[in-house]
Amino acid sequence: MTTSKKSAARPRTASPCPHPKGVLISIGGHERKDTEANDAEFADDSILKRFVEELSGDGPVVVIPTASEEPIEAARDYIKIFTDLGVKRVEVLDIRRRDEADNPECLTVLETAAGIMFTGGDQLRLTALLGGTEMLRLLKARYTHDRIVIAGTSAGAAAMSTPMIYQGRNDAGFVKDEIHVTTGLQFMHDVAVDTHFVARGRIVRMAQIIATNPGCIGLGLEEDTAVLVTNGNELEVIGNGMVVIVDGRECEGNTIHEIKPGEVFSIRNLRIHLLARGQRYTLPIQEQMHI
């Protein structure tokens, strides 16, 4: 028995999982892109200006418009805004096929990038085209080990988390199986991100996601609002709207596992936090590898 106890013991390490050195910026959509000199508020409120301020080194900002049905147009907007904000090099990776995400030239650009910007569109395009590729593996490695800034707006923000919401009407959610989820790009684990959150009334559909797994934290981002994530779990709210955090870890009366598809679910004792610009929040998630 003594031998058995010894063999079961494992040495403990101080930090089994490295905290990522990179910065994430998840944006709820419709962020301000006006850089006119007479816009006095821009310097104080702009999410994209904060993105530029967080950049480290002289590498390019890389725009990835894969989620968009009109990628050239989507990329053009960000080329202009980042150039206006003083970025010297802005490059575009217009990935439309999975094999393009494994292209050595594409990977070379990402190896030196100081910042990445995923545009809006359809988050399922991002996971279907980038999931399991060398490009995504490289981005995760750089996020873990380098101080790269990775941002996404609307679909680009929703895809950062796991689970990832990819289908469900704005007014849907109270009926079981109305909302569909899949594995996201996994820069944030055990966090579900939803965007345009207040404008499109998405609190109920987020509640259903949390009901399916109360260990997941819901992060609802309103338009022109973002969370800046450091250390993998430290959030700072930036922008002009509100962030809604839904915490179901102490929920009660959850019926999602008991009812049939098409029936209305119940859940009680969800904790809701409403956070404005400058507020901070630590995600109560367990440490785990990001690569």
- pLDDT for the residue 34: 74
Rounded (5°) CA angle 42-238-198: 105
**The domain that contains 59 carries what CATH number?**
3.40.50.880
- pLDDT for the residue 42: 46
Does residue 114 form part of some domain?
yes
Measure CA of the first residue to CA of the last residue in the chain; give whole Å: 38
The domain in which residue 113 lies consists of: 18-279
- pLDDT for the residue 144: 96
Does residue 289 form part of some domain?
no
Separation between Cα atoms, residue 137 and residue 158, nearest integer Å: 18
Place of tokens 């995504």: 136
The answer to whether the beta carbons of residues 227 and 266 sit under 8 Å apart is: no
The tally of domains found in the chain comes to 1
Does residue 2 form part of some domain?
no
State the pairing for strand pair 115-118/61-64: parallel
pLDDT in tens, the chain (291 residues): 444 444 344 444 445 577 999 999 999 999 998 765 445 444 556 999 999 999 999 999 999 999 999 999 999 999 999 999 999 999 999 999 999 999 999 999 999 999 999 999 999 999 999 999 999 999 999 999 999 999 999 999 999 999 999 987 767 789 999 999 999 999 999 999 999 999 999 999 999 999 999 999 999 999 999 999 999 999 999 999 999 999 999 999 999 999 999 999 999 999 999 999 999 999 997 765 545
Has 154 been annotated as catalytic?
yes
Task: Return the bridge partners of 193, or none.
Answer: 219
Does residue 286 form part of some domain?
no
Element (H, E) at 111: helix 104-112
Has 223 been annotated as catalytic?
yes
Q: What is the pTM of this model?
A: 0.90
Has 4 been annotated as catalytic?
no
- pLDDT for the residue 183: 96
Give the three-state DSSP class for 182: strand
- pLDDT for the residue 33: 87
Provide the edge-to-edge strand list for the sheet that holds 217-221: 188-189, 161-162, 191-194, 217-221, 243-247, 271-275
Nearest Cα neighbor of 193 from 228, 223, 163 is 163
Does residue 219 form part of some domain?
yes
Does residue 115 form part of some domain?
yes
Q: Is 35 left (phi over 0), alpha (psi -120 to 50) or beta?
A: alpha
Does residue 290 form part of some domain?
no
Query: Residues, the chain, total?
Result: 291
**Set 178, 222, 223, 236: catalytic member:** 223
- pLDDT for the residue 288: 57
**Set 46, 154, 161, 236: catalytic member:** 154
**Set 68, 178, 189, 196: catalytic member:** 196
Does residue 6 form part of some domain?
no
For residue 224, with 0-12 CB atoms within 10 Å meaning exposed, 13-18 middle and 19 or more buried, which class applies? buried
